[in-house]
Amino acid sequence: MEMKFVMIIILGFGFMFVFTAFQTMCNIEKTILDSISQEDDSFRGDGYTSLAILYLFFSLSNWLAPSFISFTGPRVAMVVGASTYTLFMITFLFPSTALLYVASAVLGLGASITWTGQGTYLARCSNAETISRNSGIFWALLQCSMFFGNLFVYYQFQDKTHIDKETRNLVIGVLTGVAILGIVFLAALRFMASNAEQDNELEQQHTGCGQALYALKLAGKLFCTKRMLLLSLAFFYTGLELSFFSGVFGSSIGFTSKIASTPKEIVGLVGICIGVGEVFGGGFFGILASKTTRFGRDPIVIAGYVLHMAAYLMTFLNLPNSAPFTDTTDISYLDPPSATMALVCAFLLGLGDACFNTQVYSMLGGEFVNNPVGAFALFKFTQSVAAAISFFYSSHFGLYVQLAILVATGTIGTVAFVIVEWSFKREHREMEK
């Protein structure tokens, strides 16, 4: 087996274990913190605020991520960044409002170098022919994290209306151990040289602070191009929908009392169904990359848009407007709310997210080969800005307003992505003449 492909597999397993911990924690954080606050009157930590701080620092530090990676390389950056995910998990064993928010900020800094390092390493292990396959396979392995952590949470939260301290500590302890295993996989990655002209220029003509400043300058220059500005609209939507399905959707179901006798246990099943959709989409696009590449990336993104619009409509009909905030007996248009419909929506959200993200990775790794570090940093910058904004307004806007925002930004983002994809198709056809 080709060594670069083996490294993609190891990269996928590393992220799978780290994000088994983190994505599961995001899914249950609001529920966990709500239980802590019921036991400790001095605790004022809020899950949405924590995630908003995380993504705020994530977005700001993405501008510095290319400079950091110019010093360390993508492998070291991913190991250092993944360590901050483990630190974040550990803080839940020692409930403190201040500690929660500080750890969220530190994780935001670490996440920027983790994801920019991942995109850079993926690009270095790929070429124009393999980038779609590698992106799909990595995404499928990454999203397997939605299975294992949430399945564990489902069994631990079963028949519980309140998550007691013993259960919380067991879940957090296990997830922390899994995150550490992921760091071991990332540390095992081999060095991969860059094929990008600008990366080589960066390494050969600049050293020290000059290298870091040059990397920042390249990222800023790329951000101002017409194509990247258009793509930023699509990136922005992926941030909003990421925060919705990873933080708001599961909590809304857990707070909807009439959806089941013990709605908290359904939160784990929601995560599993999102994971099924993510893995199916990533695996499908990875295995059939040679066929899907012929038709371009735009049909897959349009399919993801349709799946998400269907999920938002069903969520609007199924869950009450007050669901994101706290336990509620309110209903929407269905009485009682349907747990089955909620799980179908979770699957559609996961599958649609896979459609968007695999094609974004494919475009950035395949079309921006001269500056993959800057391209992936800008993707994560825009996505995390959107996620931060979403988590801030999630504490104030009802479910229906949040769904309306997703519909509007999803439409704009999809159109923008299709325009850029068509421009690349025209460019390739002209080069072939």
Same domain, yes or no, for 275 and 161? no
How far apart CA 284 and CA 53 sit, in angstroms, is 34
Residues 297, 338 share a domain: yes
Give the torsion sign (CA, 67, 3, 176, 158): positive
CATH number, domain of 314, equals 1.20.1250.20
Report how far residue 410's alpha carbon sits from residue 395's, in angstroms, rounded to the nearest whole number: 21
User: Is residue 370 a part of any domain in this protein?
Assistant: yes
Same domain, 55 and 134: yes
Domain that holds residue 35: 1-200
- Is residue 272 domain-shared with residue 153, that is, in the same domain? no
| 417 found inside a domain | yes
Cα separation, 185 vs 198, in Å, equals 29
DSSP characters for 81-125? Answer: HHHHHHHHHHHTTS--HHHHHHHHHHHHHHHHHHHHHHHHHHHHT
What is the SS3 assignment for 256?
A: strand
Q: How far apart are the first and last CA of the chain?
A: 35
Rounded to 5 degrees, φ, ψ at 328 are -145, 145
Alpha-carbon distances of 379 from 16, 122, 183, 186, 417, rounded to whole Å = 20, 14, 23, 22, 13
Q: Is residue 208 part of a domain?
A: no
pLDDT of the chain, 433 residues: tens digit per residue:
588 899 999 999 999 999 999 888 877 787 788 888 888 888 888 877 888 898 889 888 887 888 888 788 899 999 999 999 999 999 988 888 999 999 999 999 999 999 889 988 988 888 877 887 888 888 888 888 877 887 888 788 777 767 788 888 898 999 999 999 999 999 999 876 655 544 444 444 444 455 556 556 777 788 888 998 999 999 999 999 988 988 789 889 988 888 887 787 788 788 889 989 988 888 777 666 666 666 778 999 999 999 999 999 999 999 999 988 878 888 888 888 999 999 999 999 999 999 998 889 888 877 777 777 778 878 888 888 898 899 888 888 999 999 999 999 999 999 999 999 999 888 877 877 6
- Residue 211 placed within a domain: no
- Domain end call among 200, 227, 249: 200
What is the DSSP-derived secondary structure letter of residue 245? I
Give domain status of residue 355, yes or no.
Answer: yes
Domain end residue (candidates: 171, 200, 229) = 200
Same domain, 264 and 367: yes
Q: Which tokens go with 187?
A: 């540390």
Does some domain include residue 307? yes
Query: Do both 274 and 317 map to the same domain?
Result: yes
Q: State the pTM of this model.
A: 0.76
Q: How many domains does the chain have?
A: 2
> Alpha-carbon distance 154 to 157, whole Å?
5
* Statement to judge: residues 123 and 9 lie in one domain: yes
Are residue 306 and residue 339 in the same domain, yes or no?
yes
- Helices and strands: H and E segment counts in the chain: 18, 0
Instruction: Assess whether 188 and 247 both reside in one domain.
Output: no
- 398 and 328 in a single domain? The answer is yes
The Cα–Cα gap between 430 and 427 comes to 5
Q: Is residue 290 a part of any domain in this protein?
A: yes
Same domain (yes/no): 97, 240: no
Do residues 171 and 267 both lie within one domain? no
Among 174, 200, 226, residue at a domain's last position: 200
Query: Is 212 a domain residue?
Result: no
Whole-number Å distance between alpha carbons of 43 and 158: 25
